[in-house]
Amino acid sequence: MLSITTNLNANQAATSLGRANQAVQASSEKLTTGLRINKSADDVSGAALANRLANSSAKTAQFIKNANDGINMIQAADNAIKQQQDLVSRLHELAYKAENGTNTGDDTALIQKEFDQLASEILRNETGAEFNGKAILDGTLSAAINVGTGTDNQINVVVAGPQGTTRTDIIADGATASALNLSDINGDGSVATGDQWKTVVHDKLVALAKSYSDDRANIGASQNRIEFSIKNLEGTKQNLDKTLSSAQDTDFATETAELAKAKVLAKTSQTMLSQANKSVEEVSQLLQ
């Protein structure tokens, strides 16, 4: 049926052209952004899933950063304790040297000078060593490394020092380095005698060395635990990112095929619309 009032063929071609152009636009957007879901209307449930997965991935990434920060703090404490152990080892050497019966009083006094300086350095490090403003050697360090949600997912890192006292108490009986028990053994400014080096001094050094060894073992164990936690978190994040990619990323092979299809349909519809519009001319020819 020929009609000039209603051109059904033209209407159908125009509708098909509009739909094809929309498909071209949608495919172009997906290819341009690299995302299959650019608005919630693209995939309502998929958009909600992608948002949850993205939040979980970001949270897990932060937990990994927290764990690495914890390891950095532990390594700083470990290095500081190692330096203290080296100082204690040198003090042991000096003590063994001082207690040798071949020393004169002058010899012992000279040994005492180095001993005093090194003991003062131990005391200074005890109160001065820190990481990001947190003291790491004075026995007050207790940090909860957050590697997950809730208190059950916290790894405590503790440098507690010796039980029942502090390393500062072992080193000195006063607030200043000049009151070091290791050197001012009798409290009257006199140097330690050979017997005192063998007993009191060595006892203090042994207690000091043990406290450093205990703390170093504790933080080493904590670091190993944190490193295993990081491996677990990295695996979790990898799986989250893989699932997120499947949910929202564009499949370029599929989408380029869809774009090519939409372009062909758009061009075909445009041609058919042009042909449908020419049918009106056939009516005018009948009237001639």
**3-class DSSP state of 149:** coil
Mean pLDDT, rounded, for 221-241: 94
Mean pLDDT, rounded, for 64-83: 94
Helix or strand holding residue 183 (H, E): none
74 or 43: which leads in pLDDT:
74
Q: Where are the beta strands (DSSP E) in the chain?
A: 130-131, 134-135, 141-146, 154-159
Q: Where residue 226 falls among pLDDT bands split at 50, 70, 90? A: very high
Mean pLDDT, rounded, for 10-23: 77
- Contact between 127 and 68 (Cβ < 8 Å): no
Tracing tokens 């012992």 back to the chain, one arrives at 108
Angstrom distance (rounded) from CA 237 to CA 54: 10
Q: What is the pTM of this model?
A: 0.72
Least confident of 69-78, 201-210, 228-237: 201-210
Question: What's the confidence (pLDDT) of residue 7?
Answer: 66
Least confident of 22-26, 56-60, 85-89: 22-26
Question: What's the confidence (pLDDT) of residue 40?
Answer: 80
Least confident of 36-45, 197-206, 216-225, 244-253: 197-206
Q: Count of alpha carbons within 13 Å of 168, Cβ hemisphere only?
A: 16
Residue 242 has pLDDT above 80, yes or no: yes
Residue 77 has pLDDT above 90, yes or no: yes
Question: What's the confidence (pLDDT) of residue 95?
Answer: 83
Average pLDDT of the chain to the nearest whole number: 80
Mean pLDDT, rounded, for 130-150: 88
Token pair belonging to 38: 């650019």
Q: For the chain, what percent of residues have pLDDT higher than 90?
A: 27
- Contact between 166 and 132 (Cβ < 8 Å): no
Instruction: Give the ranges where 99-141 is alpha helix by DSSP (H).
Output: 105-128
Question: What's the confidence (pLDDT) of residue 53?
Answer: 92
Q: Where residue 179 falls among pLDDT bands split at 50, 70, 90? A: very low
What pairs with residue 145 in β-bridges?
155
Question: What's the confidence (pLDDT) of residue 203?
Answer: 78
Mean pLDDT, rounded, for 83-106: 86
